[in-house]
Amino acid sequence: MATVNLDSLVQSYSIFNQASRSKSSPLPRSFPFNPLKNLSSSTPQNRCFKSVPSISSVLTKEDTVKEEEQDPQISSFDFKSYMVHKANSVNQAMDSAVSLRDPVKIHEAMRYSLLAGGKRVRPVLCLAACDIVGGQESMAMPAACAVEMIHTIGKPTNHKVFGEDIAVLAGDALLAFAFEHISVATVGVTPGRIVRAVGELAKSIGAEGLVAGQVVDITTVVLGAILGGGCDDDVEKLRKFARNIGLLFQVVDGILDVTMSSKELGKTAGKDLVADKVTYPKLTGIEKSREFAEKLKNDALQMLQGFDPEKSAPLIALANYIAYRQN
């Protein structure tokens, strides 16, 4: 089974300090660059927000000691370990779901795309959303795998290894099997919720979903919430959370493209400008984009109010990573 490399995802965001009494999520203090720096929050802090743990960036040893002295009850949430653990669980589940069987060549190509490694952020989001509404991991694991099956369809190198015809057939097989897997492998969930989840996923990859921008990245959170037993209000709150962090990623991506070097990004900087791509910095400028990104982050975190603080920690950590990432 392919190993998971999360270094690029969490290289500067591997430890988060969780304070249940904090009223806000502070900006990172040790990052050499912060796309949202020098901004005051554009969204008023809600008093209820203190029920949600504050997840901050990597702290220096002195900072950690000071905060622990102020509140000895502070516990830490290790985002990197969480991601690695959950990603490995997803890999094992996918390995079992798409075993090597007849027709062998097709299944080899399916497994090549599916088990080629990756951060597994989408399926982990699905599992985290299931957990936050009180569900068990097993309830959402088939859906988490299905999301990754759809995401890995058409892996560019597949046709080079297996040929164009086999690659196309493998992609078609993965798409069909994604829906079959949710339908027959999901346990501990009512049939009505399974049907609802299948409908959400189908809509997200259909013409309406693509036109409306409701991509799989958003739907994966909704799937977890539905299958985990979330009420309608909780499902919609998590849908809004997912929309906010999805848009936040795009805004920050545009900011980084014009403010970081190629070396810092790990990819060619300024590609959006060269391609004359419509981005938020191009439309509104850097500062307005930063303000918008800050608002999106705060709006996303506010959607997590009312949930169990411990169970919301992974989603809070992810939102802060997206806001403060450097590449």
User: Tell me, what CATH number does 100's domain have?
Assistant: 1.10.600.10
Amino acid letter at 90? V
Domain final residue pick, 197, 230, 263: 230
SS3 state at 159: helix
Which tens digits make up the pLDDT trace of 44-86?
443 333 333 333 332 233 333 433 443 333 357 899 999 999 9
Please state the rounded mean pLDDT for residues 223-234: 98
Q: Distance (Å, rounded) from C-alpha 269 to C-alpha 249?
A: 16
Residue 155 lies in a domain: yes
Residue 59 lies in a domain: no
**pLDDT over 50 (residue 258):** yes
Domain final residue pick, 230, 251, 275: 230
Q: Distance (Å, rounded) from C-alpha 93 to C-alpha 76?
A: 28
Residue 61 lies in a domain: no
Residues 125 and 213 in one domain: yes
Which tens digits make up the pLDDT trace of 43-52?
444 333 333 3
Residue 132 lies in a domain: yes
Residue 181 lies in a domain: yes
Q: What predicted TM-score, i.e. pTM, was given to this entire model?
A: 0.75
Residues 91 and 203 in one domain: yes
Paired strand residues for 16? 77
**Stretch (H or E) spanning 315:** helix 309-324
pLDDT value of position 3: 39
pLDDT value of position 309: 93
Which tens digits make up the pLDDT trace of 17-52?
333 333 344 433 333 445 565 444 444 443 333 333
Residues 245 and 302 in one domain: yes
Phi, psi of 58 (to 5 degrees): -60, 125
| 136, HSE (Cβ side, Cα atoms, 13 Å) | 6
pLDDT value of position 35: 58
Please state the rounded mean pLDDT for residues 287-302: 94
Residues 252 and 169 in one domain: no
CB of 54 closer than 8 Å to CB of 24: yes
Residues 217 and 249 in one domain: no
Domain count, the chain: 2
pLDDT band at 192 (very low <50, low <70, confident <90, very high): very high
C-alpha distance from residue 208 to each of 136, 174, 202, 215 (Å): 31, 21, 10, 10
pLDDT band at 236 (very low <50, low <70, confident <90, very high): very high
Residue 97 lies in a domain: yes
Domain containing 118: what range?
76-230
